[in-house]
Amino acid sequence: MKRIGYHIKVKGEVQGVGYRYYCREAAARLGLNGYVMNMPDGSVEAEAFGDASSVEAFIMEISGRDRSYIVREIEKNEIPENNRYNDFEILQYPGN
């Protein structure tokens, strides 16, 4: 099974509403490794690594709208596999 990775930037109303926790739960359910982090510009950044179908399912799941958050735009770029992550973590932006 081919493993892929994506760097993802999510824009919208995604900070202070539990979105990072939602991303972590979705990634854990799909067996992905990586991270999610609030960015100073109000966006959320993530990197997700796993089999291609699971990563695509993750991106589709976090693209939706919930009562607490609104995703307006998602940018995604494929990146090389990174074995640094053993699970899916919520990180703090350096300097915060």
Per residue in 42-69, pLDDT (tens digit) is 999 999 999 999 999 999 999 987 778 9
Dump pLDDT digits (tens) for 34-45: 999 999 999 999
Active-site residues: which are they?
Answer: 20, 38
Q: Is the pLDDT of residue 96 over 80?
A: no
Alpha-carbon distance of 63 to 78, in angstroms, equals 17
For position 2, what pLDDT does the model report?
78
For the chain, the structural domain boundaries read 3-91
Over pLDDT 70: what percentage of the chain?
98
Q: 3.20.20.60, 2.60.40.2230, 3.30.70.100, 3.30.70.260: which CATH number matches 3-91?
A: 3.30.70.100
